[in-house]
Amino acid sequence: MIKVEWFYWLCGAIFIAVAALTFADATNARRHGSGAFWGLLGGAFIYSTFVVHKTAPAWVLGLAVIVMALLVATGQLGRGETPGPTRAEQEGGADRFGNRLFVPALTIPVVVIIFAVGLAKIHVGDEPLLEKSSETLIGLGVASILAVVIAFVMLRPKSPLAPLQEGRRLLEAIGWAAVLPQMLATLGQLFVAAGVGDQVGRITKNVLPDNSLIGSVLVYCVGMALFTIIMGNAFGAFPIMTAAIGYPVLVQHFGGNAAAVFAIGMLAGFCGTLCTPMAANFNIVPAALLEMKDKYGPIKAQIPTAIPLLACNVALMYFLAF
């Protein structure tokens, strides 16, 4: 059967290849630090397999992760001067290929859905074809490979390394932010292990009307929005509010549909993201890009949408999840 670990290894291999290209990139003044960062990340992806199977100590990986954060903290991460596509390249490509350019991009969602919905049910002998509960991720992995092949045959780039070079260009533009969601998930788990969720839960229970479903839904959704406004990121708020009330109260006590509770809860958090300067890349950066006088202009345009939408989320969760 097809295992999701294969694709984590592919991911790790891409990071290591990016590290190699970075080490060799003379235009990057910080190529040693950057190369070390991507290399460590790639190694960590592969080593993780053994941590998950408990055949290797986790602290080694923890140390690698902290070294990566140290590299970022001390400013060792930089980008090379890999040129982006020129205007002429883009216009020439659009002239030649037109709407066919969307084919590789659209391959990805189509293949993911085929895997998640169709192939997930297929068994080979007694075993399912795809590793259980990872069907979507496996679909994403296969879709990415397929899309590269299609793009390669269609576009015929000069160098066989072109996809890797272009991937590196985007990855360097994302930089350390590529691992931030993963670190926030880790922080969430640490918060839970250290009892932060329990503490927030104890506080909210004092505020909460006893055994009121609508009250609990309200506290979860509004809490997600408020924590997101404070932290600037719904990913950071999610583990806290979910440990405090989402899982113990809404799913366990009231028997809510877990998928619906968590999906709508996350979107309630997104309503908070619309309202906060802390979510700089979504709210401050566009204002800067558009050279606005009022830095908070986009937020002001979004708050009157965020508030009724939060109310919608409360209603949707109350009526759909229970």
Partner 1 sequence: MLVLIGVLLVVIGFALRLNPLVVVTVAGIITGFLGKLSPVEILNAFGNGFATSRSVTLFILVLPVIGLIERFGLQEQGRRLISRLAALTTGRLLLLYQLIRQVSSALGLATINGPAALVRPLIYPMAEGAAERRFGRALPEAMREKVKAYSASADTVGQFFGEDIFVAIGSILLITGFVDTTYHLKLDALNVALWAIPTAICAYAIHGTRLFLLDRRLDRMAKEAGLITRPPEPEAQEAGR
Residues 282-301 that bind partner 1 (CB under 8 A): 282-283, 285-287, 289-290, 292-294, 297-298, 300-301
- Contact between 184 and partner 1 per CB under 8 A: yes
Residue ranges in 234-273 that form contacts with partner 1 under rule CB under 8 A: 234-236, 238-240, 242-243, 247, 258-260, 262-264, 266-267, 270, 273
CB atoms within 10 A of CB 75: 9
Q: Judged by CB, which is closer to partner 1: 64, or 213?
A: 64
Contacts 24+ apart (CB under 8 A), 158-162: none
Residue type, 256: G
In this structure, what token pair is assigned to residue 200? Answer: 């927030």
Classified as helix, coil or strand, 304 is: helix
- Name the phi and psi angles at 202, rounded to 5: -60, -40
Output 93 or 255, the one with its CB closest to partner 1. 93
Handedness of CA 312, 314, 315, 320 (dihedral sign): positive
Q: Is 29 in the site for partner 1 (CB under 8 A)?
A: no
Report the residue from 1, 52, 122, 214 that binds partner 1 according to the rule CB under 8 A. 52
Rg (CA), the chain: 23
Q: Which is nearer to partner 1, 20 or 61 (CB)?
A: 61
Give me the 66-95 binding string for partner 1, x by CB under 8 A, dash otherwise.
x--x--xx-----------x---xxxxxxx
Who contacts 113 (Cβ-Cβ below 8 Å, separation ≥6)?
139
Stretch that binds partner 1, among 23-31, 122-130, 209-217, 276-284 (CB under 8 A): 276-284
For residue 130, list its beta bridge partners.
2
Of 136-165, binders to partner 1 (CB under 8 A) are 136-137, 139-141, 143-145, 147-148, 151-152, 155, 157, 162-165
Tokens 């002001």 belong to residue: 300
Piece of the chain touching partner 1 by CB under 8 A; list 22-30, 121-129, 132-140, 211-219: 132-140
Q: How far separated are the first and last CA of the chain, in Å rounded? A: 36
Smallest distance, Å, CB 132 to partner 1?
8
Say how far apart CA 163 and CA 151 lie, in whole Å.
9
208 binds partner 1 (CB under 8 A): no
Q: Tell me how far CA of residue 179 lies from CA of 8, 69, 93, 128, 215, in angstroms.
A: 14, 10, 32, 31, 36
Q: Which is nearer to partner 1, 194 or 209 (CB)?
A: 194
For partner 1, the closer CB: 98 or 125: 98
Closer by beta carbon to partner 1, 24 or else 292: 292
Is 200 a binder of partner 1 (CB under 8 A)?
Answer: yes
Q: What is the DSSP letter of 26?
A: T
Q: Nearest approach, Cβ of 32 to partner 1 (angstroms)? A: 19
